[in-house]
Amino acid sequence: MERVRLEDVSERGSSNLAQKDIEGAAGEYPVYGASGYIGSAGFYHQEKAYVAVVKDGAGVGRTMLLPGRSSVIGTLQYIIPEYLYYAVKNMKLARYYTGATIPHIYYKDYKKEVFWLPDLAEQRRVVGILENVGKIIDEQQQELLELDQLIQSRFREMFGDPVKNEKGFPVYKMCDIVEFQGGSQPDKTCFEYEPTEDNIRLIQIRDYKTDKYITYIPKEKARRFCTADDIMIGRYGPPIFQILQGIEGAYNVA
Rounded Cα gap, residues 94 and 237, in angstroms: 15
pLDDT for 182: 92
Which run of H or of E encompasses 84?
helix 84-89
Residues β-bridged to residue 53? 63, 77
Looking at the chain, the whole-number percentage of residues with pLDDT higher than 90 is: 36
Average pLDDT over residues 221-228: 94
3-state class (DSSP) for residue 189: helix
In the predicted model, is pLDDT for residue 11 greater than 70?
yes
From residue 188, give the alpha-carbon distance in Å to each of 95, 118, 153, 183. Answer: 9, 35, 42, 15
Q: What is the mean pLDDT of residues 118-132?
A: 82
Q: What is the average per-residue pLDDT within 94-115?
A: 80
pLDDT value of position 203? 95
Q: Which of 60, 62, 56 is nearest to 75 (CA)?
A: 56
Could you tell me where the beta strands, DSSP code E, fall in 160-210?
Answer: 199-203
> Apex CA 206: angle with CA 202 and CA 208, to 5°?
85
What 3-state class would DSSP assign to 117?
strand
Q: 121 or 45: whose pLDDT is higher?
A: 45
Q: Return d(Cα 39, Cα 31) in angstroms, integer.
A: 5
Per-residue pLDDT, 169: 92
Q: Is the pLDDT of residue 197 over 80?
A: yes
What pLDDT does residue 15 have?
83
pLDDT (tens digit per residue) in 142-190: 998 899 899 989 999 999 998 899 999 999 998 899 999 999 999 989 9
- Which is nearest to 78 in space by CA: 98, 101, 107, 58? 107
**Residue 1 pLDDT level (bands cut at 50, 70, 90):** low
Task: Classify residue 104 by its DSSP letter.
Answer: B
Asked if residue 209 has pLDDT above 90, the reply is no
pLDDT at 82 over 70: no
Please state which of the ranges 125-129, 167-171, 216-220, 248-252 shows the lowest mean pLDDT. Answer: 125-129
Considering Cα of 72, then 77, then 79, then 84, what sign does the dihedral take?
A: negative
- In this predicted model, which residue has the larger pLDDT, 232 or 113? 232
Whether the CB-CB separation of 181 and 204 falls below 8 Å is answered with: no
C-alpha torsion angle, residues 108, 109, 112, 113 (rounded to 10): -140
% of the chain at pLDDT higher than 70: 95
Q: How far apart are CA 252 and CA 27, in angstroms?
A: 40
Task: Report which of residues 28 and 116 the model is more confident about.
Answer: 28
- Does 22 score more than 70 pLDDT? yes
Residue 81 has pLDDT above 70, yes or no: no
The average confidence (pLDDT) of the chain is 86
